[in-house]
Every structure is written in C-alpha cells, then in structure tokens.
C-alpha cells in the first residue's frame, strides 16, 4: 500500500471541483482537457469521512480503465491517457499525487441526468416497491422479493443533486422533458447495452452487477461515456456464490462501512465519526477484491 491521498494540491493547475471522491482540474493552455484524480476519500450517507481508505482511488481508476477498454465498442469515452508521462509537462511535478489514480480526459458538456440501470431490485427501488409496485413509471411484477432479478434490466434515470443532497429518481418521461426524447432514447439505449455487456462479463468472474450508474457527456453532438465506470462506488457488486433472493446481499463496496456506521449513535450529519483501522482495512480489502476479480 502507498501513502493515502486525501486532498490533492496542484497549485499550477486550476481546481474546478472537489467532489466526494474526485478532484477535477483544468490545465492552463489545455482548455479542451481535464485532469481527473480519484482520491482515497470515502463517503457514506452523503458525508465524507475524515479517515481515508488507502489506495481506494487507485482501485477505482484501474477498474474504470478496464471497463473503458472493454466497452469501447458500444460508446466512445472521454479517456485520453492515464500515463502521467503523456500528460502536459506542467503535471509531471505532481506525479506522486497522480500516479495510478488520475486520468487525462476530454472536456465534455456533462448531461444533467444520472443514467442508472438496475438488473435486480435493491436499495431505494426495493423501498419504493414495498409501498407501490409501480416505481418510476414501471409496473413491476407482483410478489417480488428483495434482491430478485428483474425480467429485463430497467433504465431508471435520476436528477443530479448538489453535493450533500440526494439525487431524485425520475421517470423516463420526465427525462425526456428535460433533455428531449431523441437524446433520452440514445442515453437509455447506450446505458442498457453497457450494463448487459458488463453484467455478462462480471458473471464470468463470479460477480453480479445488481445496478450501476453511468455518466454521459457530449462533444460536437456525440455522446461519450465519462467519469468513473462500473466501480464499487457507482455500482452494487454481489458475489454470485452466496447470492440468495429474499434478503440483502453482501457486496464489494462500502456497505461494510455503512453497516458499521448504522451501529453507532450518529445522526448521519457532519462531522463524521472516526473510523477504526479494522473498518478501513476491511473496506479497502473489499474494493481490492472487486478489482482483482474483474481485471485478472
């Protein structure tokens, strides 16, 4: 393991955005490109923890790079390079913060919709289904159990919330009102095809992708796959060998951390509680196992 990167500091670049995990920089003289860095920060319940998950940013980046390559026949992506030597020279001095956890990408017009594809009923969708079997405009089968597989993958868009707020599930009809029917149809088709190909591959590695979130951007009228792709932060990965409908599933993500936090007397508002080493180490191990299974 390496030293954790919690907060990047690249003074000769322009910091555009510091998210829950990623720091995004503009490079002077290269306004059509962006530098995206995955830190070792981790959030739960929309609160960023003070304690890092060592090498998490590297794991997320390497998983995304794998999927960008595997899925490139479905939709082009924004990746230009993940090799620091190929970045503009001004970036080279920051190699210790960039190596293995950064990507030089094309700058796009980010679409204002989160593209969520669900293959199994879980999370907020399961909570909504228990109240009404029609969820986000989908009339779902009666008597589904938690973690059941849908007859076919569902495209369930959501709005993008400001940091600290929750995204809101919307219907496809609402999505069409926001961005227009033609582009909405294209985004839905791309997202489902990405999910289907990725799911088939992941199953061959013993992993069920229960659901995932894609981000799409546009350059010169062309949609590109952007941001992170099919990582434990943006997806629910379940081990196939212990999958059992009718209950929640163990997963290769921060559910282990969420379960620990739920056991505390904490109101899920900042400041976050300190995390014991055992929790951060076990969380790091789950992320690493997902990477090793998928990319081996």
Mind listing the pLDDT tens digit for each residue in 217-226?
999 999 999 9
Give yes or no for a contact between 133 and 142, defined as CB atoms under 8 angstroms apart.
yes
131-148 pLDDT tens trace: 999 998 899 999 999 999
Measured distance CA(247)–CA(207) in Å, rounded: 17
Measured distance CA(117)–CA(169) in Å, rounded: 12
Instruction: Look up residue 278 and give its two tokens.
Output: 């055992």
pLDDT attached to residue 124: 87
Give yes or no for a contact between 145 and 245, defined as CB atoms under 8 angstroms apart.
yes
Give yes or no for a contact between 54 and 284, defined as CB atoms under 8 angstroms apart.
yes
Q: Which residues pair with 236 in a beta bridge?
A: 211
SS3 call for 197: helix
CA quadruple 274, 276, 279, 281: dihedral positive or negative? positive
pLDDT attached to residue 160: 80
pTM of this structure = 0.95
pLDDT attached to residue 162: 64
pLDDT attached to residue 164: 52
pLDDT attached to residue 107: 98
Phi (first) and psi of residue 111, to 5 degrees: -70, 140
Q: Which residues of the chain have pLDDT under 70?
A: 1, 161-166
Measured distance CA(237)–CA(246) in Å, rounded: 17
Average pLDDT, the chain: 95
Give 134-163 as a DSSP string. EETTEEPPTTPPTTPEEEEEEE--EEPPPT
**Alpha-carbon 290 to chain mean position:** 13
Measured distance CA(122)–CA(135) in Å, rounded: 12
Measured distance CA(221)–CA(225) in Å, rounded: 13
């Amino acid at each position: 393991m390496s030293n954790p990167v919690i907060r990047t500091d690249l003074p000769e670049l322009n910091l555009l955005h510091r998210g829950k995990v990623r720091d995004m920089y503009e490079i002077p003289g290269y306004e059509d490109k962006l530098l995206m860095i995955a830190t070792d920060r981790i959030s739960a319940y929309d609160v960023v923890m003070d304690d890092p998950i060592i090498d998490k940013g590297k794991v997320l980046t390497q998983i995304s790079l794998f999927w960008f390559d595997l899925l490139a026949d479905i939709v082009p992506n924004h990746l230009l390079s993940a090799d620091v030597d190929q970045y503009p020279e001004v970036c080279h001095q920051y190699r210790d913060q960039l190596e293995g956890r950064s990507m030089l990408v094309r700058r796009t017009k980010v679409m204002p919709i989160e593209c969520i594809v669900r293959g199994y009923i879980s999370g907020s969708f399961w909570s909504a289904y228990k109240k009404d079997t029609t969820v986000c405009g989908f009339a779902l089968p009666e008597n589904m159990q938690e973690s059941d597989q849908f007859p076919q993958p569902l495209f369930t868009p959501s709005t993008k919330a400001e940091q600290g707020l929750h995204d809101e599930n919307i219907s496809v009809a609402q999505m069409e009102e926001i961005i227009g029917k033609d582009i909405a149809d294209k985004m839905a088709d791309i997202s489902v095809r990405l999910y289907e190909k990725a799911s088939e591959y992941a199953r061959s590695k013993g992993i069920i992708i229960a659901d995932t979130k894609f981000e799409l951007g546009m350059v010169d009228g062309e949609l590109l796959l952007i941001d992170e792709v099919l990582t434990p932060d943006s997806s629910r990965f379940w081990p196939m060998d212990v999958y059992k409908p009718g209950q929640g599933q163990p997963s290769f993500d921060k559910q282990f951390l969420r379960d620990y936090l739920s056991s505390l007397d904490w109101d899920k508002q900042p400041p976050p509680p300190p995390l014991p080493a055992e929790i951060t180490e076990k969380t790091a191990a789950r992320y690493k196992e997902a990477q090793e299974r998928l990319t081996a």
